[in-house]
Amino acid sequence: MRPDILQQAMAEHHEECLDNREFGFWLYLMTDAILFALLFATYVSMFRNTANGPEPIDLFDLKHVFLETACLLTSSVTFGFAWLAALHQKRQIVMFWLIITLVFGLSFVYLEVIEFLDMIRQGAGPQASGYLSSFFTLVATHGIHVSIGMLGILMMVLQVMIKGLSPQVCSRLFRLGLFWHFLDIVWIGIFSVVYLPVFI
Amino acid sequence: MQTHEHSLQDYLTGLVLAVILTAIPFWVVWTSAFSAKVLFGIITLCALIQVIVHLRFFLNISLKHTGKDYLTALFFAGVLIFIMVGGTIWILYDLNFRMM
């Protein structure tokens, strides 16, 4: 085989590998969506089971939730900007937007942890009632996903810094972007199902 | 194959629509502008539209350009979610009603 043909075949093979990884990641996201959907179903089924314990209306703060929503939505868009910069092979700008995304992600997790600690301090921890167990399971699972996503963003900042925007790094960044935007979609469900109906 | 081509316009359109679709339910609940049933309706409608907006503008899913494999997986997940979540809520509410 001539070396240039061999090289082309290798490049195509690598591209196909990355395509497969992206599709595999997409399948993972779909299974994750099903997992979240079932946590939502559990939450809705448990909605009235407060066991004479704390009621949700006394625990939630609409402004706080709105702030969390704003942080997550902004971080989703700034991740998009990082991806646009990656398409144009602009390394510094990718790192800049990824760090901005990280800041908004951190603010979101910080707000959520504050909310949880405040609830636990008021005696509304996950052990207080079936309702609160399902609340903490659903919202904290999302929170843990966001935290893992932030770890991923940190890794991507380092990879872009050290390895540059190679096809492999770009593919990883793309997959992380899918994950990050997916988590924002789950959050739409959380504020629409968990928080807003409580205030009606 | 999933398309990698995004444009700035996509993200900005997505942002504007998402902000509007988030602000509407928060605002109507905050002001309690309507009766409970209407409020539920508005929240559900805005959430569903916002999910589609995010899929279209942030995840860049489109019926034309996204690969069949991706769309099949997405629709299959949608069907499973509909059956399992719908079924769970239906059965448990029915059970709850009969146990009263």
DSSP A61: -
pLDDT for A16 equals: 85
* Cβ–Cβ < 8 Å for B18, A185: no
Gap from B96 CA to chain A (nearest CA, Å): 9
CATH of the domain at A99: 1.20.120.80
Is residue B23 classed as helix, strand or coil in its secondary structure? helix
* Interface mutation vs chain A, best among B17, B22, B95, most A CBs within 10 Å: B22
**Mean pLDDT value of segment B67-89:** 94
- Distance CA(A66)–CA(A193), nearest Å, equals 14
A199:B29 CB<8 A? yes
- Distance CA(B1)–CA(A72), nearest Å, equals 28
- Distance CA(A55)–CA(A49), nearest Å, equals 10
- Distance CA(B5)–CA(B21), nearest Å, equals 25
pLDDT for B79 equals: 97
Q: Which residue is closest to A81 within chain B, CA to CA?
A: B8
A76:B50 CB<8 A? no
Residue-averaged pLDDT of chain B: 92
**Structure token pair of residue A11:** 């490049």
Asked if the model's pLDDT at residue B1 lies above 80, the reply is no
CA atoms within 13 A on the CB side of A155: 12
**Structure token pair of residue B85:** 């979540």
* Residue A44: φ, ψ to 5°: -65, -40
Question: Pick from B78, B29, B85: which is nearest to A43 by CA?
Answer: B85
Q: Which residue is closest to B93 within chain A, CA to CA?
A: A45
Q: Which helix (H) or strand (E) holds A162?
A: helix A130-163
A81:B11 CB<8 A? yes
A37 → closest Cβ in B2, B40, B81? B81
Question: Pick from A37, A38, A44, A189: which is nearest to B96 by CA?
Answer: A44
Gap from A185 CA to chain B (nearest CA, Å): 6
pLDDT for B2 equals: 60
pLDDT, tens only, B20-65: 999 999 999 999 888 999 999 999 999 999 999 999 999 999 888 8
Nearest-5° angle of CA A52, CA A56, CA A62? 165
Gap from A181 CA to chain B (nearest CA, Å): 6
pLDDT for A11 equals: 85
Q: How many residues does chain B have?
A: 100
Domain count for chain A, please give it: 1
Domain of residue A126 covers 3-199
Please, which pLDDT band fits residue B3 given cuts at 50, 70 and 90? low
- Distance CA(A110)–CA(A124), nearest Å, equals 19
- Distance CA(B47)–CA(A21), nearest Å, equals 30
CB neighbour list of residue B54: distance below 8 Å, 6 or more residues apart: A76, A181, A184, A185, A188, B14, B18
B81 → closest Cβ in A33, A45, A174? A33
B73 → closest Cβ in A27, A38, A84? A27
CA atoms within 13 A on the CB side of B88: 15
pLDDT in tens, chain A (200 residues): 678 888 888 888 888 888 899 999 999 999 999 999 999 999 999 998 888 889 999 999 999 999 999 999 999 999 999 999 999 999 999 999 999 999 999 999 999 999 999 999 999 999 999 999 999 999 999 999 999 999 999 999 999 999 999 999 999 999 999 999 999 999 999 999 999 999 98
Please, which pLDDT band fits residue B100 given cuts at 50, 70 and 90? confident
Q: Which residue is closest to B80 within chain A, CA to CA?
A: A34
Q: Which residue is closest to B58 within chain A, CA to CA?
A: A181
A37:B74 CB<8 A? no
**Structure ipTM over 0.90, yes or no:** yes
